[in-house]
Amino acid sequence: MLLNQFLLLSAVLFSIGVYGVIARRNGVAILMSIELILNAVNINLVAFAAWRTDIAGQVFALFVIAVAAAEVGVGLAIVLAIYRNRRSVDLDELDLMKG
């Protein structure tokens, strides 16, 4: 198999994730788009690990999965705290820090 096919798939997923982060308003939906981005990174890491027959890429993919799990936990806690205070998870309406 070619290395490029994995890298291109990952580039497409990454761009879709970036689109989601910019275009979505719901906090939970934005966290899902961030997951898409992190998965694109993981496909890259594992593909390079296979290309170089070096295990380091797979180890780093595992670290990324662990950090992503931590990020989702904290992110959803923040979304819940926002919801409790504002009765909404619409990130467009969060303008408390606007000058």
Partner 1 sequence: MLASTMPLPGTDDPINVAQTIGFGVIAVVMVVSALRVVTTKNVVHAAMWLVLVLAGAAAQYVLLAAEFVAVTQVMVYIGAVVVLFLFGVMLTRARLGSDAELTRKNWYGAAFVGLILVGLLGFSLVDTFQDAKLPEDRQVSLAPDLPADATDAEVEAALEEPNVGSNTAAISDSLFTQYLVPLEVVAVLLTAALVGAIVIARRD
**Residue 41 is which amino acid?**
V
DSSP 29: H
- Angle at 68 (CA atoms; ends 74, 91), nearest 5 degrees: 50
Which token pair is 25? 């308003």
Cβ proximity to partner 1, 82 vs 98, nearer residue: 82
Using CB under 8 A as the binding rule, whether residue 85 contacts partner 1 is answered as no
> What is residue 26's three-state secondary structure?
strand
Q: How far is CA 16 from the centre of its chain?
A: 11
Longest CA pairwise span in the chain (Å): 53
CB of 85 to partner 1, least distance (A): 11
Q: Which of residues 30-69 bind partner 1 (CB under 8 A)?
A: 31-33, 35-36, 39, 42-43, 46-47, 49-51, 53-56, 58-59, 61-63, 65-69
Interacting residue ranges for partner 1, rule: CB under 8 A:
1-9, 11-20, 22-29, 31-33, 35-36, 39, 42-43, 46-47, 49-51, 53-56, 58-59, 61-63, 65-74, 76-81, 83-84, 89-90, 92
